[in-house]
Structure 1
Amino acid sequence: MKLSQTGIVLLSGLVLGGLGMVTLDNSDVYAKQENGYSVHTGYDKPWGSQLAKEGYVFRLENDQNNNGLWSQPIGKNGHNLISRKAFQQVIKNKVDFKIYRVWQYKNGLQYKIVSRSGKYRGWIDNAGVYNKYSLDKQLQPIIEQEQKVVNSINSKYPYTTHYNKADLMVYRNDLAKANKEASGLSGNKRAIALSSVKEVNRYLRSHNADLVPTLLWQKVK
């Protein structure tokens, strides 16, 4: 997939989904047709259910593809549910959202989101969504280790999980360091970090792009 590169970056590493997570080397993490997964237009129910479990941890960011929340995903003739002014206010107020549905199409992804109060609900391009914990200072060492592993996998092994033994050892060591850092945290942040490291470990084994942790969805600073 060749994607619009605006809005949110996945740190400096990945292209995510369809419309906004930018890479320095243009590795298409979510180009499933290139990684043995079929691209289709329609709802990705398993991924939607997976993201819903993360709860209200997502926030919205300005992106040239987004000017509100839409009643239908792309290709279904939806209408805008919120004015541009109200949309900007939602961003300014840092309203928390949950993702609970995923729409996949040839050139990207859209998410159906809902605010904690239920006041705001609709579809948005994935470029306009980031995980609020991705900016947490305590989580940065874990994020950096995860980023390092995922970026290397996508650069060196875009189409296979048959890793060189030396590289595989490096990946495992880097994730062990991330796990140690995560274990040293407390409370909710510890749980978030440990879960994120597990997702990268599963990505290492399966190369399933849905397993790239949302902790790597970061707002452009």
Structure 2
Amino acid sequence: MKRSLSIAAFAAVFGASLIFSATSSNYVPVKAADVSDTNTVVNNQGVSDKTWSNKLTKAGYVFKLAKNIATTDGGLYQRKNGLLKKYSLKHAKKVFAKNMLFKIDRAISVENGSLVHIVSQNGKYKFWTNFLTGTYNVNGHKKSLKPLIKTEVEMITNTSKEKIAKKLVTAEKLANKLKGSDKKLAQESITQLKQWIDNEVFANIPVLLIGSL
């Protein structure tokens, strides 16, 4: 039996609720992600925000702002005293137009989803945004990796548990066919995918899939 609600659909719902709240009151209460907060458990499944943040940071400057940041009412936030204040759509469009690379240096779990803090490669821009809808991994646009990504996305969003093992074999075969840096990225993604299979929480979603779900 397939999952009744895909991660992509959940992310859309969460993103919409976050934007609505920010629009109506300018501030959205969230759990602060200070140093003392780094051991927060995601979904009570034993994955700390610190571990999650380290995994995302390790990927480096491979993220760009998603198009919806500049086509809706914006999705970039600043945080102060545990509250989020949204930047204007005009500012979001201006930043999006620069087509910069970002790194994720912090991820936090909140009541209805997850947020990430991103830093531009030139160090001039820093924002909070939605985990799955605010950015995308540029490696996810590589033609050579598309078949693997498609298989992994299917496993995460709508494949029954009974079929996951079979699809995992397919994903591993696709990864083994690749070469050089693409193969390394694929193998890292497979390792992270297996972690997700063991524990289906946002923190275990493969980094390569951010923006593809």
What is the TM-score with the length of structure 2 in the denominator?
0.68
Equivalent position amino acid for 2:92 in 1: F
The Cα of 1:139 is off from its aligned counterpart by 0.9
Equivalent position amino acid for 1:173 in 2: K
Structure 1 residues 120 and 137: CA distance shift in structure 2, 3 A: same
**Are 2:119 and 1:114 equivalent residues in the alignment?**
yes
Q: Distance in 2 between matches of 1:218 and 1:149?
A: 16
The Cα of 1:71 is off from its aligned counterpart by 4.2
Contact 1:19-1:109 within 8 A present in 2 as well? no
Q: Distance in 2 between matches of 1:128 and 1:67?
A: 7
Q: Distance in 1 between matches of 2:84 and 2:15?
A: 19
Structure 2 portions without partners, runs of 5+: 1-5, 17-41
Aligned counterpart in structure 1 of residue 74 of structure 2, from 66, 70, 73:
66
User: Per the alignment, in what secondary structure is the counterpart of residue 15 of structure 2?
Assistant: coil
- Give the structure with the larger helix fraction: 2
**Are 2:144 and 1:138 equivalent residues in the alignment?**
yes
Contact 1:69-1:121 within 8 A present in 2 as well? no
Q: Distance in 2 between matches of 1:191 and 1:72?
A: 38
Q: Distance in 2 between matches of 1:189 and 1:46?
A: 24
Contact 2:74-2:89 within 8 A present in 1 as well? no
Structure 1 residues 49 and 185: CA distance shift in structure 2, 3 A: same
**Are 2:104 and 1:96 equivalent residues in the alignment?**
no
Structure 1 residues 50 and 67: CA distance shift in structure 2, 3 A: closer
The Cα of 1:86 is off from its aligned counterpart by 4.6
| Alignment coverage as a number of residue pairs | 176
Contact 2:52-2:107 within 8 A present in 1 as well? yes
Structure 1 residues 108 and 49: CA distance shift in structure 2, 3 A: same
Name the % identity. Answer: 27
Aligned counterpart in structure 2 of residue 47 of structure 1, from 52, 60, 74:
52
Q: Distance in 1 between matches of 2:157 and 2:118?
A: 28
C-alpha RMSD of the superposition: 3.2
User: Per the alignment, in what secondary structure is the counterpart of residue 189 of structure 1?
Assistant: helix
Aligned counterpart in structure 2 of residue 76 of structure 1, from 74, 83, 93:
83
The Cα of 1:77 is off from its aligned counterpart by 5.3
What is the TM-score with the length of structure 1 in the denominator?
0.66
Equivalent position amino acid for 1:149 in 2: M
User: Per the alignment, in what secondary structure is the counterpart of residue 157 of structure 2?
Assistant: helix
Q: What is the match of residue 207 of structure 1?
A: 200
The Cα of 1:76 is off from its aligned counterpart by 1.8
Equivalent position amino acid for 2:194 in 1: N
Q: What is the match of residue 149 of structure 1?
A: 155
The Cα of 1:151 is off from its aligned counterpart by 2.6
The Cα of 1:213 is off from its aligned counterpart by 1.1
User: Per the alignment, in what secondary structure is the counterpart of residue 56 of structure 1?
Assistant: coil
**Are 2:138 and 1:129 equivalent residues in the alignment?**
no
